[in-house]
Amino acid sequence: MLKIKVLRPNHPHDLSVPDHNDGKKGPYRICVTLLPAGHCPGSVMFVFDGHNGTVIYTGDFRIYEGTVQKLAGLPVAPKCLYLDTTFFTRQAPTIPSRDVSIRRISESITSHLKKYPNASIFFESETQLGYEAVFLELKRTFNQKMHVGRAKLALYQDVEDTTGAFTLDGSSTKFHACGRKKDSNECWEKRTSNNALTIKLCVLGYIKINADGGKCPTVRKVQPNRLKICFSMHSSYNELVEFIGFVQPDSIVPCVQPYKLSMAAAQQELNDLLMKQRKASQPPVTLPYLKRRYDGTESAPSWKAKPSHSDLHEVEDATCGGLFPHKEPLAVLNVPFKKTKPSQN
């Protein structure tokens, strides 16, 4: 019988995993920790700890430059890092932060409403979730709720801190994210009026222009009353490089084919990056870390001595057993970081 267990973020969980091979060894135990991923509400990274080592699976995530050091509970020197490589390409070295994008959105709306105080503002996006921070900030800045359809409202009902930000009444607000089709005659008439402003939140067009040698601004005017504003829920190339350098994994597996890059090329790029970082690496920073205690039947694995970046309380009752067997692709570089002595200069 399938069982679903809810795991609390930022807290180690001791789990029993069935043996899916021949079943002779029986279940083994792992310690699982969920860390915020910054992609959309509820998104998390998974940290798996066990006797075979530590594995980090980022899933979709957005970590900004200069913030990875503040992520409590993130281990260093794991055996393997499964990485969101959506924009792991030198053609996307930087992407505006979420705060910068939201500020540009607010400035664009303010400028338009100064010219047309009664104009309606329509929003288009690539995905259903992930834009809550935009809508909440617009609610605070302009005191306008976001008009959405019933299906989207049902999605947001389970998202924390969005209460009061949305409405089904299109006549009560200037802001609309109710879709591109004729959801109602009223909204359609507003959308097709001369003064309506349409804002599309996207990132791929921004990267394409930069990849072709141009310098794409965060806000692009593509038609008289239509803007494209860069908004990304995935990390840029530079952000990923900093994240890898901080975590210092033994090996990396790309999870997504990057823009204009094959998976094989992405793997080679990651391998080369690891080698380059290892030549200039310093030992991982020693910070307080989450202690994990074993049941005493086996000696503690070597990874227990590796520090984990965490300011969480010590958990004395977590009995984490062996990590699931991990089979790495042959192309994946798997050479531990050289633990060099700090410079005396």
DSSP string, 225-258: TEEEEE--SS--HHHHHHHHHHH--S-EEE-SPP
* Alpha helices (H) in the chain, listed in sequence order: 98-115, 132-142, 150-156, 185-191, 204-211, 237-247, 263-279
Mean pLDDT of the chain: 80
- pLDDT at position 212 is 72
Mean predicted confidence (pLDDT) in 180-190: 66
Residue partners of 67: CB distance under 8 A and separation at least 6: none
Does the pLDDT of residue 327 top 50, yes or no?
Answer: no
Token match 């802001």: residue?
Answer: 175
pLDDT at 99: 94
For the chain, the straight-line distance linking the first and the last C-alpha, in angstroms and rounded, comes to 61
Distance set, CA 1 to CA 4, 20 (Å): 10, 15
| Among the ranges given (40-49, 113-122, 210-219), the one the predictor scored with the smallest mean pLDDT | 210-219
Contact 29, 320 (CB under 8 A): yes
Strand partners, 30: 15
Q: What are phi and psi of 267, to 5 degrees?
A: -65, -40
Q: Are 121 and 112 in contact (CB under 8 A)?
A: yes
Residues 258-263 have a mean pLDDT of 91
Percent of the chain with pLDDT over 70: 78
The rounded distance, in Å, linking the Cα atoms of 214 and 57 is 34
Q: What is the pLDDT of residue 331?
A: 40
pLDDT band (50, 70, 90) for residue 334 = very low
pTM tops 0.75, yes or no: yes
More reliable by pLDDT, 157 or 36: 36
Judge whether residue 9 has pLDDT over 50.
Answer: yes
How high is the pLDDT of residue 215?
Answer: 79
In terms of Cα–Cα distance, which of 95, 103, 30 is closest to 318? 30
Question: Which residue, 53, 61, 60, 57, is CA-closest to 77?
Answer: 53
Give the angle 32-36-38 at the CA atoms, nearest 5°.
145
Q: What is the pLDDT of residue 338?
A: 39
pLDDT of 185: 56
